[in-house]
Amino acid sequence: MGKHNQNSHRITLLDTTLRDGGQTAGISFSAEDKQRIAERLAEFGMDYIEGGWPGASPKDDHFFELVRPREWQKSRLVAFGSTARPGGPPSRDSGLKKLLASGADVACIFGKAWDLHVERALGISLEENLKLVHDSIVYLKRHFSEVLFDAEHFFDGYKAHQEYAVQVLDAAAGADALVLCDTNGGNLPFTISRVVADIVIRFPDTVVGIHAHNDSELAVANSLAAVDAGAKHVQGTINGIGERCGNANLTSIIPNLVMKMGVDCGIGEDELAGLKALSDFVNEMANRLPWRHQPFVGLNAFAHKGGVHVSAVRKLARLYEHLPPELVGNRQRITVSDQSGRSNVLVMAAKAGFGIKLDEKDPAVAELVKQVKKLEDHGFAFEGAEASFHLMLLKAKKKFRHFFELKGFRVIDEKRRHDETPLAEATVMVRVGEKMAHTASLGNGPVNAMDRALRAALKDFYPTLKDLRLIDYKVRVLTTQKATEAGVRVLIESTDGQRKWGTVGVSTNIIDASYQALVDAIEYKLLLDKVSPPA
């Protein structure tokens, strides 16, 4: 049994998505983005929300101004900074003064705990570094009710010069928490556990924390090992975003703490059920596609593809699921593929709605399994295209009529000079009942032009299509051996503002594959809206 059960003092969580997470390559939060994320983190119940480094950029300064009127019930806003610079007292240090002026509830500063960094990066003596750490903490404690100290590079410093690394913590002992940082992300769980246990014994009256990076893909494991060894404060980010390989992923740490280790971290059942929604929101703010296989909150975290697995989870979900997905706001997902059996089709049919009822003896089931395997052999994939599968299911049951008939489409893509943007134009002719529609549209590419032309042709017949928009478009080359002659698979994700669905198309012609997926997206939307097709 781990040491985490030997003390009733609960674990506190610090989210640094807005600071460390904002340093992720390819992610740039605006001040308004940061404000919205902060509000969601506060609603979730995070103990500390690290907003940024006052004075580091106008964006961070603007963020702290935006959140001044906050009325958070539980969360405390943290301003991040460094110890005072060498050469003067903390009272005259501009960085520390900006922490005071930020309006934050808590200050968190970092200091060097590795002698190599002190002498080579800072270029000062080991004694001077200790004085900077001590004096900075003392100064901030006069102005803040709570001060946290991040001991940067602590584990590497402990290996290289254990006595000095501990002296740095002694110098910062006036802080409310001593946070041990695996800044380079290179340490292993057993090392983290051993060192944290030693520090907990040395500083029995101070909260010891952990701040782990994921360069060895061990940030979550290292954080949990630290808690097991006695750490009472954990820092990380939502979805593990952060510099280089990222920070410790709180969306994995939190459910492991609560449901696997039985640790109180202030997150109850209601908050935990909002974990996936929080993960999705941060991805949206970061303009980042979610990792579908992310543990706990990913689309495929509780997805079942193999027929044996599906047959088992239909009887008892925990045969192939480590916890009920609803606890973290996720859901079980049954996919269909070339490994599918009757169980997959039956489960997918039950979730499809539209009044479809199947049993194992229904001949449509065997036909669907055969059809899925044949189509996937040609490159189709229904794992991210449930809508296309549902349409195929309706067709197999003779319960589907097309909403329009294509009479022809033509796409022209023209580029006249090397440095000129291409022009794309699409012409579409469709029949709806007895009426014909013939339209042309321009687009910023052939697929966009065709999408616009198709919708323009149908808008008068089906007004609800005005709400339809594409939110993701992926093209996958099915084989690299045929080069530009290869077939492609197009996956499209669509929404009408309330619902999302995926569709698929496959062809050696990318325009044709896109057309297939677009038509499925349109017809599925009309089915959801309960629109009647023409007689």
Mean pLDDT computed over 466-494: 82
Please report, for the chain, the start and end positions of each structural domain, with discontinuous segments joined by +.
Answer: 12-267, 405-528
Any idea which fold 12-267 has? TIM Barrel (3.20.20)
Q: How would residue 473 be classed by pLDDT, with cut points 50, 70 and 90?
A: confident
405-528 shares the fold of 12-267: no
What mean pLDDT, rounded, does the chain reach?
Answer: 90
In CATH, 405-528 is 3.30.160.270: yes
pLDDT at 7 over 50: no
pLDDT interval class at 4 (50, 70, 90): very low
Residue 363, CA atoms < 13 Å, CB-side half-sphere: 1
Could you read off the pLDDT of 496-523 as tens digits, one per residue? 988 888 899 999 999 999 999 999 999 9
Question: How far is Cα 459 from Cα 198, in angstroms, rounded to an integer?
Answer: 69
Cβ atoms of residues 397 and 374 within 8 Å: no
Model pTM score: 0.72
Q: Are 381 and 492 in contact (CB under 8 A)?
A: no
Q: Rounded mean pLDDT of 408-416?
A: 91
- Residue 235 backbone phi and psi in degrees, to 5: -110, 145
Q: Which residues pair with 430 in a beta bridge?
A: 406, 437
218 vs 9, residue with greater confidence: 218
At residue 21, what is the residue type?
G
For residues 386-411, give the mean pLDDT: 90
Conformational region of residue 262, where left means phi above 0, alpha means psi within -120 to 50, and beta covers everything else: left
Residue 335 has pLDDT above 80, yes or no: no
Secondary structure (3-state) at 401: coil
Helix (H, G, I), strand (E, B) or coil at 79: strand
At residue 155, does pLDDT exceed 50?
yes
Answer for the pair 243, 24: CB distance below 8 angstroms, yes or no: yes
Listing DSSP states for 193-246 in one string gives HHHHHHHHHH-TTSEEEEEEB-TTS-HHHHHHHHHHTT--EEEEBGGG--STT-
Condensed to tens digits (0 to 9), the pLDDT of residues 20-31 reads 999 999 899 999
Phi, psi of 81 (to 5 degrees): -170, -170
Structural contact between residues 299 and 292, judged by C-beta atoms closer than 8 angstroms? yes
Percent residues over pLDDT 90 in the chain: 68
pLDDT digits (tens, 9 = 90+) for 267-318: 999 999 999 999 988 987 887 878 989 999 998 898 887 667 767 777 787 7
Question: Which alpha helices (DSSP H) does 256-327 contain, by range?
Answer: 269-272, 275-285, 307-315
34 vs 368 pLDDT, higher one? 34
